[in-house]
Amino acid sequence: MTTENGNLSRNIRGKALEKYKKSLELTDLQKDVLIGCLLGDASMSLRKGKPHYSIKFEQKADRAEYIYHIYDIFLPFVGSPPLLKFSNKEKTRKAIWFRTYQHDSLIFYYNLFYKQEKSSENPKLFDSIVKVVPKNIHKFLTPRAVAYWFMDDGTYHTDIKSGVKTFLFSTQNFTKPDISLLCNALLTSFGIKTSIHKDKDFWRIYVLSESTEELVSLIKPYLHKDFIYKLELFI
């Protein structure tokens, strides 16, 4: 991606912008980041009951450098730079976010990660969407995709009773069957053994201590420098 393309996309409107967008194709890097971040915090949405084929990337404000890193990756697909906002009603927490253009190449990812609930009033519209894990996630879960998933939702963990140190993925937004798909993909694709633990009414993935070195070796080459601290217990 080049700064020139990003500047161009912000300086054109109307038919010229639509023509420019038709020239865009996702790179392999962008595809991996999409898979990893959609497993994490990135999202797609409905607008007036219809799918909006754009991606919203959002993190806490103290992860601004990471958001700008992702922004640079998707620069040709973005018309506005990241913005700060309050992420709660009390206005005590700040978040930083940006959204890509709506683009036909993102339809595939919407259909891959979202289930739609039809409107009872208008069968052509939808009331809501739910993010799911694709049943064929193993086909898309590259080492780089795992790294971006980890940067969004991964952290290290020390068991209070045993003192054993390992990693976990915060997968509370997914159902247990969906999480099982992810565990199977990590095992079959990378030999990483995991277990599923209940967290109140939800579930999280724990990497077994015997597989921590495999995970570190897999994702370290792709981690943004601000996330190396998450591996500090094991490197």
210-235 pLDDT, tens digit per residue, is 999 999 999 999 999 888 877 766 65
Q: Please state the rounded mean pLDDT for residues 68-96.
A: 88
| 226 or 137, greater pLDDT | 137
Residues 119 and 157 occupy one common structural domain: no
Which of 70, 100, 131 is the last residue in one of the domains?
Answer: 131
pLDDT at residue 4, rounded to an integer: 45
3 state SS for the chain? CCHHHHHHHHHCCHHHHHHHHHCCCCCHHHHHHHHHHHHCCCEEEEECCEEEEEEEEEEEHHHHHHHHHHHHHCHHHCCCCCEEEECCCCCCCEEEEEECCCCHHHHHHHHHHEEEEECCCCCCCEEEEEECCCCCHHHCCCHHHHHHHHHHHEEEEECCCCCCEEEEECCCCCCHHHHHHHHHHHHHHHCCCEEEEEECCEEEEEECHHHHHHHHHHHHHHCCHHHHHHHCCCC
Has residue 92 got a pLDDT over 80?
no
Q: Please state the rounded mean pLDDT for residues 42-70.
A: 92
Residues 76 and 170 occupy one common structural domain: no
Residues 44 and 154 occupy one common structural domain: no
Domain span holding position 211: 137-231
Q: How confident is the model at residue 65 (pLDDT cuts 50, 70, 90)?
A: very high
pTM score: 0.89
